[in-house]
C-alpha cells in the first residue's frame, strides 16, 4: 500500500484533483455507517464513531473529511484502491442523493 501511495504522489499521470465544488458533492456519512472499517488510510488514525467521514462512492472507502479532501484535491482517485472518481457523475440529485449511487 505504501508503494501505491508513494507512486500516486509523484506520478505525473496522476491527473488533476477535484475542485472544492466537486469535493462538496461527495457524501458525508457517520463513521459507524462506513462499510469498510474505521481506519483512515490517509493519516492512519481511527475514525471515531461519533465523527462524520467522507465516503468515496465508487468503492465505499471512508476517510476523515479533512484527509479525504486534502488527498482528492491532488488526486482524482481513492488512496486505497485507486478507484477513479467519475467527475461527470458528481451531481446532486433532487432527492438528495449524490449521483454516483443512482442507476444509469
Q: Give me the residue spans of the domains in the chain.
A: 2-89
φ/ψ bin of 10: left (φ > 0), alpha (ψ from -120 to 50), beta (otherwise): alpha
Q: What's the pTM value of the predicted model, to 2 decimals?
A: 0.70
pLDDT tens-digit profile of 23-54?
Answer: 999 999 998 888 777 889 999 999 998 899 99
CA distances from 97 to 3, 73, 87, 102 (A): 34, 22, 15, 7
Q: Give the length of the chain.
A: 104
Q: Does domain 2-89 have CATH number 3.30.40.10?
A: yes
Amino acid at each position: 500500500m505504501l508503494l501505491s501511495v508513494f507512486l500516486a504522489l509523484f506520478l505525473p499521470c496522476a491527473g488533476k484533483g477535484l475542485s472544492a465544488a466537486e469535493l462538496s458533492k461527495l457524501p458525508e456519512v457517520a463513521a459507524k455507517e462506513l462499510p469498510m472499517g474505521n481506519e483512515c488510510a490517509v493519516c492512519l488514525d481511527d475514525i471515531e464513531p461519533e465523527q462524520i467521514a467522507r465516503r468515496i462512492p465508487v468503492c465505499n472507502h471512508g476517510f476523515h473529511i479533512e484527509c479525504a479532501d486534502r488527498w482528492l484535491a491532488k488526486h482524482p482517485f481513492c488512496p486505497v484502491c485507486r478507484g477513479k472518481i467519475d467527475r461527470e457523475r458528481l451531481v446532486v440529485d433532487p432527492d438528495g442523493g449524490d449521483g454516483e449511487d443512482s442507476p444509469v
